[in-house]
Amino acid sequence: MVFNGLMTAPTLQTTSFIGGRHLPTLKTYPNIDPATGDLIGDVSRASADEVDRAVAAAAKAQREWRRSSPEQRSTLLVAAGTRIRANREELARLESEDTGKPLTQAYADVDVCARYFEYYGHTIEAYYGAQIPMADDMHVYTRREPYGVTGHIVAWNYPLQLIGRAAATSLATGNCAVAKPADETPRTTVRLAEIIQEAGFPRGAFNVVVGLGAEAGDALAKHPGVAHLGFVGSTATGSLIAHAAADRVIPTVLELGGKSANVVFPDADIDGAVPSLVRSFIQNAGQTCSAGARLLVHASVHDEVVEKMGRAVAEITVGRGTDDPGLGPLVSSRQLDRVQGFLNELDPAQVAVGGGRPAGLGGVLENGAFVSPTIVTGVDPAQRIFHEEVFGPVVAVSTFEDDEEALALANGTEYGLVSAVWTRDLSRAHRLAHEIEAGQVFVNTYGAGGGVELPFGGYKKSGYGREKSIEAFDEYTQTKTVVIKL
């Protein structure tokens, strides 16, 4: 995929990008196409030594970068966004091949990645400290200063979006960064590092170590030169990251699991809601932390909602992501096994739609990690599928009789990332938006994380800290108070 200055020919090995150079290794692992099971290429298995080199490169670059002006950062961030858009076709295809997601969704991910660089490039010049009135003979003000080297370990479901928002925020606030993409989806992060350097950032401002989480990811999380950690992934791994950060007393931003609920009341515009209800659990093959994986619907409209969703699901095409179907494969055969494990626990009568492998897949797709869009009804809160992440195109449907039961069900998991309320009653909408324990609550729409401008993060075991929006600047800077006796 990349060309290394130390080599004499292009290689199919996806390598780490450190200090502006590619570093191939002898130890590699295979990158597998989730739609076919075929080999895409090899990926370097970065060691702790490469993580050391990456952190050192970032620290060296940060000594220069921390003195840059907001105007200089703004110019380069916007330039990076422009270059991301110029490479839209290449980035989308890489993203689609690695993750299996349909090309339309991969294009959207590229656009959002570019938008992060543009948005933070446009807003960093308006971010500053405050003057604090204290006494006539005292001048007191605050400064927002960078941490230094930030480390970022991200999940495989939205590689470009996740690393784009982290890199753009870190660089905008004067930090430099080292990223570790997921084992399964390294290529767009490496390409993004090349683009950032092409835009004019200092060498080493943004570095990428590729490899296995247990090796390169663990080394990055524990590295003494990293002053701030960001992680996107499972709650179990997030807990390990938090422990590693606590051992060194450094801040973290954790975006973890979710079991988000759409709550549909009988006065909702059901025909208007159905497209969003379906999209919320099949987008990215359901591999979204903020997916609408639970559907809580009033008993009086349950049958209507399920029947209309079933009709919509029947129209969804399934295939290889690069052919741009409505639904692509899961990211790996391991993930397919996980999803199938949840479905195997169910009473067959609960599976109203789907529940197995899509019909008609053959040829090169015979070994792909495909699962049909699945609607599971009659879900009891005691069932595992009600309160644990499936991370596949599966929605668990439960009924309620009144507002209090709906609220109890919505808050009835250890997660609190996103929820949505579907009703024409504005009093009910405001009341539930206040009472639901989630970082984002939508009313009569569902954003699955929302736009670049919206603070994003969780309650409870969905994590802490906020990405996106100007609020993210606070996560990547520390406050210094200056007091001057006049």
Pair type for strands 228-232 and 294-298: unpaired
CA–CA distance, 425 with 430 (Å, rounded to integer): 9
Helix residue spans in 223-284 (DSSP H): 235-248, 270-282
> Rounded to the nearest 5°, which phi and psi values hold at 396?
-100, 120
- Which residue of the set 255, 389, 437, 467 is catalytic? 255
Tell me if residue 255 is catalytic.
Answer: yes
> Phi and psi (nearest 5°) for 11?
-135, 155
DSSP-assigned states of every residue in 162-183: HHHHHHHHHHHTT-EEEEE--T
Residue position matching structure tokens 């996103």? 418
The secondary element (H helix, E strand) that includes residue 147 is none
Gap between the Cα atoms of 301 and 270, Å rounded: 9
- Angle at alpha carbon of residue 114, lines to 109 and 116, rounded to 5°: 95
Q: Are 140 and 469 in contact (CB under 8 A)?
A: no
**Distance in angstroms (rounded) separating the CA atoms of residues 187 and 2:** 9
Strand partners, 395: 375
- Report the SS3 class of residue 195: helix
| Neighbouring C-beta atoms of residue 69, cutoff 10 Å | 11
The letter for the amino acid at 207 is N
* H/E stretch holding 40: strand 39-44
CA-based nearest residue to 294, from 416, 119, 212, 162: 416
Is residue 362 within 8 Å of 35, Cβ to Cβ? no
Using CA atoms, how far apart are residues 205 and 55, in angstroms rounded to an integer? 10
Cβ atoms within 10 Å of 349's Cβ, excluding its own: 8
- Cβ pair 375, 395 in contact under 8 A: yes
The closest alpha carbon to 110, from 94, 96, 92, 90, belongs to 92
Question: Do the Cβ atoms of 24 and 11 come closer than 8 Å?
Answer: yes
Catalytic residues: 255
